[in-house]
Amino acid sequence: MPHREGTPVAAVHKPISQHFGKLLPYGKLLPVPPQCPAQRRPDRPWGRRGGRRAERSGSAGPGRAGPERSAREAALPRHRFAPRFGPAGMAGEPLSFRAFRAARPAGCQYGYGHGEGLSALRDREFPRLRGITYLDHAGSALFPESLLKAFTDDLRSNVYGNPHSQNISSKLTHDTIEHVRYRILQHFHTTAEDYTIIFTSGCTAALKLIAESFPWIPEGTKQPSSRFCYLTDSHTSVVGMRGIAASMNVLSVPIKPKEILLAKSRLPAEEQNCTTPHLFSYPAQSNFSGTKYPLSWIQDIKSGKLCPIKIPGKWFVLLDAASYVSSSPLDLGVHQADFIPISFYKIFGFPTGLGALLVNNRIAPLLRKTYFGGGTAAAYLAEEDFYFPRKSIAERFEDGTVSFLDIIALKHGFDVLEKLTGGMEKIKQHTFALAHYTYTVLSNLKYANGAPVVRIYSDTDFSNPDVQGPIINFNVLDENGDVLGFSQVDSMASLHNIHLRTGCFCNTGACQMHLGISNEDIQKNLQAGHVCGDNIDLIDGRPTGSVRISFGYMSSFEDAQTFLNFIIATRLSKLDTETPFQSVTKPTTECVPHDNSSFNSADKLSQILQISDGELRNIPSEAETTGRWQPLEPEAESIRAAVSETAVPTCRKGGKPITVAKIYLYPIKSCSAFEVAEWPVGNQGLLYDRNWMVVNQNGICMTQKQEPRLCLVNPSIDLKQKIMVIQAEGMDPISVPLEDNTGKEAVICESKVCSHRVKTYDCGERIADWLSTFLGRPCRLIRQSSDVKNKSHQKNTKGLSSATNISLSLVNEAQYLLINVASILQLKEHISARLKEPLEIEELIQRFRANIVISAPESFEEEEWVEISIGALQFQVVGPCSRCQIICIDQQSGERNKEILQSLSAARGRKTNFGIYLMNQPLHSSFSDTLSVGSQVLPVLKENTEIQPPTSSKEKCSG
């Protein structure tokens, strides 16, 4: 990374507090936001007014534990905090939005003020949102029904040809596109005199185009060289421009927000006479925190009043408006940035894959172009190096045929948005009202001990929509102030059908700044296996990312309240605060003592296990009907003996033996389990485990997450008859052959299952009709093709260096999932206490959809194993299984009960791990082995059980 030159200097500009801080309109009446060291960092002085807050933090406030709590507050459950809004007369409704609206905070105007309310608009335009709380508008806006209708009506009634032809339909396309350009310019309060619109595939492509075409002066010429500066709170797509700059021998300089905000002096006038062009890029709104950076910077930087770094030359400004324009008006008549890249789906959700670069005509003629493609040339010679570009800047830069139908959709997007909302200023006020309200309630939620429930990462106090957009970024904390992993929050939110975003949001700079992650941490985390966008949320107890909610033009108060109620219900319900039970963390170097008095004592457990063993040992009769596997060959016996000898357990001698209690396979992914007493093991796991899957009409794998009734589809395998029989209530049984019919008329196609490539073939119309009838939606059955079964494909084999060639079926993470009855029993106690109703152990076991259920004396001891052997089979432990909402589905009825995942999370502290993934590498390829109920399990403990591997294996699309 090239080094910066000089320090940032700036002209006198508004004091920072004037830009970001403003008293709340009903300030004194508002409860005090929690004190959170990470929210006020010395390097972000423009942030919260720490002093004032610090003073107030000790004052009486609703929900605060201790004598200061008012009588009414005291009447509330102690765990629950209900902030109130406005004067005393309005108090009373917890989370009252009515009171909030009555208080009329400045810049907050909920709804669009036309006859119908927001709920009518939602019903009419977004029926698909029923039951869903969509809070990822910063990810993508949602299109209204009337946009689609207007667009498709348009397409149905007009013939649009290729705009590069000259015929009538082409002319229509050309003219309509030109009209759309004007419509876009109008939206941004400017005209074709000042700006040119270049259509691109999105904001990122527009950024790349700028980097490639900016008239950089490289290092090493006689002229002073150019600089590319960018705010560190920038999207990856901006930061990545430095790669292109570097290839052109141009230095890049990252600038922290505080550096530019606190910069004091201005560039001397004589240095402004230098013509070397420099580019400064900043986001109009941070996609991480919603902070709106001053638009006044544009003019200040262009005029030399403020300069990002002290270097002679002319500054041009790239305003990344992708996030900002989704909920705020941008007036380019006033704020004349040189480059403004946008993506249209961020504004009205459709079309995707279309963006634009608005380029100021002042710089447009200076842009360079090397490539020329269809439509961009005025003339060229095929045989000689002669090319003359088109005059119009748009035509010169729009390579090939533009996405003309999508461009036509934009007209309808702008029109419909205007009609529904009255324009961007109204959207700004509406979305800010929701963000302000949600922030105020969220930042005041406290545990009984006064500890905050969330840590919000923001630079403002959400009091002014000119400096804060409708984005709230936070992490959930426990009572001790420790962060709960964002993956866990995501899973919980999914349970409540709340769609939010987690991770680092393609903005590492902001993530580092707000979460206090150093450059070394990022590099160390990468070494630990964490990459952008994965679900490794905590490393050494520290968060690698956070949770983001964002509001859009059709977001409603109900969305905000559903989200807040979700946080309250999951974090502040009474039982969540109980001391969770944890996995065994101490190395067990001795035998499990029989007189241990803890809950995990062998005595107590053996009593429990006796009961459960009784429950568990009813070995199913399917063993008879499904055809027993071949008896072990002598060769296998000898290997089994050898393995048993080598895998001497570290602490088992004299202890109770661990045995296999149950074996399940799931022939059709996400459908019901098929229980067996013993079963052959293939090179992908249990034979026929997850060989088939149900897909929707687009060939996309369906799981119980989308279709819980899949658990009511009961497949069983009859090895003798070589068929899989599928049963479901109210349906005649149907069978499909076990024989792979690849090679006959089957069409092999490639599918993606949980981001892994698999080759599959369709099992035909008969079974497709059967499944569609039962599930009440079009679907089909497909099967993994055997021609690739034996070809190993690399899946998640983390922690299993020697097993990178392990072969997998349609499972997600590993060949086998193992759970322990003792762990189930302990969890059962916890859940039963919360549910206050009995829970069958069998039912609980089924929810965890394991392949192997073992009876071990100690709960969660399985988490300390690195290897196990069962009979002649040797397994390596891949890692823990982090649970998702599928455990909330009763596998007998298909009914959902959110409590189960919440209980697991409450019980296990900050994780939802339950069970371990195993990989098996066959010792010998010449014989098949079996896994049997009753077999002894011999574990090998981790060398140092204190060290926890990063939780990486997640039950992503379980089943």
Tell me which residues touch ligand PLP (CB under 6 A): 202-204, 235, 237, 283, 287, 320, 322-323, 343
Which among 36, 203, 229, 506 is annotated as catalytic?
506
Residue 195: phi and psi, rounded to 5, are -130, 150
Nearer to ligand PLP, 287 or 882 (CB): 287
CB 59 within 8 A of CB 40: no
Q: Is the peptide bond before 77 cis (omega within 30 degrees of 0)?
A: no
DSSP state of 539: E
HSE value, Cβ hemisphere, 13 Å, CA-based, for 841: 20
Residue 98 neighbours by CB under 8 Å, 6+ apart: 90
HSE value, Cβ hemisphere, 13 Å, CA-based, for 894: 18
Closest distance between ligand PLP and the C-beta of residue 346, in Å? 7
CB 346 within 8 A of CB 324: no
d(CA 443, CA 28): 16
CB 893 within 8 A of CB 899: no
184 class by beta-carbon count within 10 Å (0-12 exposed, 13-18 middle, 19+ buried): buried
Closest distance between ligand PLP and the C-beta of residue 345, in Å? 7
CB 310 within 8 A of CB 536: no
Nearer to ligand PLP, 287 or 650 (CB): 287
Question: Scanning the structure block, which residue is given the tokens 């929509």?
Answer: 465
Q: How many CB atoms lie within 10 A of CB 191?
A: 13
Nearer to ligand PLP, 322 or 402 (CB): 322
Closest distance between ligand PLP and the C-beta of residue 204, in Å? 3
Nearer to ligand PLP, 237 or 291 (CB): 237
CA-to-CA separations, 32 to 50, 87, 379, 550, in angstroms, rounded = 12, 15, 68, 23
Nearer to ligand PLP, 259 or 320 (CB): 320
State the Cα torsion 576-579-580-583 to the nearest 10°.
170
For 342, the 3-state DSSP assignment is strand
Closest distance between ligand PLP and the C-beta of residue 362, in Å? 23
Q: Which two tokens stand for residue 629?
A: 């596997």
Nearer to ligand PLP, 138 or 560 (CB): 138
Q: Which of 514, 499, 567 is nearest to 94 (CA)?
A: 567
Q: Which two tokens stand for residue 165?
A: 């032809």
Closest distance between ligand PLP and the C-beta of residue 347, in Å? 11
Size of the chain in residues: 959
Nearer to ligand PLP, 353 or 934 (CB): 353
Residue 67 C-alpha from the chain's centroid: 41
Residue 347 C-alpha from the chain's centroid: 20
Nearer to ligand PLP, 31 or 469 (CB): 469
Q: Beta strand pairing status for 227-231 and 251-255?
A: parallel
Residue 776 neighbours by CB under 8 Å, 6+ apart: none
Residue 554 C-alpha from the chain's centroid: 21
779 labelled catalytic: no
Closest distance between ligand PLP and the C-beta of residue 352, in Å? 8
Nearer to ligand PLP, 457 or 674 (CB): 457
d(CA 901, CA 491): 9
Closest distance between ligand PLP and the C-beta of residue 535, in Å? 19
Closest distance between ligand PLP and the C-beta of residue 407, in Å? 16
d(CA 421, CA 114): 8
Q: Which two tokens stand for residue 205?
A: 């492509």
Closest distance between ligand PLP and the C-beta of residue 293, in Å? 11
CB 923 within 8 A of CB 874: yes
Closest distance between ligand PLP and the C-beta of residue 855, in Å? 50
Q: Which two tokens stand for residue 525?
A: 């985390």
CA-to-CA separations, 256 to 236, 393, 509, 540, 896, in angstroms, rounded = 15, 33, 9, 27, 47
Question: Scanning the structure block, which residue is given the tokens 């949001």?
Answer: 505
Closest distance between ligand PLP and the C-beta of residue 344, in Å? 9
Give the helix/strand (H/E) hosting 299: helix 296-302
Nearer to ligand PLP, 322 or 702 (CB): 322
CA-to-CA separations, 574 to 64, 526, 597, 833, 885, in angstroms, rounded = 16, 38, 27, 11, 21
Nearer to ligand PLP, 287 or 360 (CB): 287
Closest distance between ligand PLP and the C-beta of residue 141, in Å? 11
Full DSSP string of 776-800: TS-EEEEEE-HHHHTS------TT-
HSE value, Cβ hemisphere, 13 Å, CA-based, for 494: 20
Nearer to ligand PLP, 355 or 915 (CB): 355
Nearer to ligand PLP, 204 or 252 (CB): 204
Give the helix/strand (H/E) hosting 769: helix 765-775
Closest distance between ligand PLP and the C-beta of residue 490, in Å? 18
Q: Which of 211, 207, 228, 210 is nearest to 219 (CA)?
A: 228
CA angle at residue 760 from 754 to 763, to 5 degrees?
120
Q: Which two tokens stand for residue 383?
A: 């045989």
As annotated, the active-site residues are 506
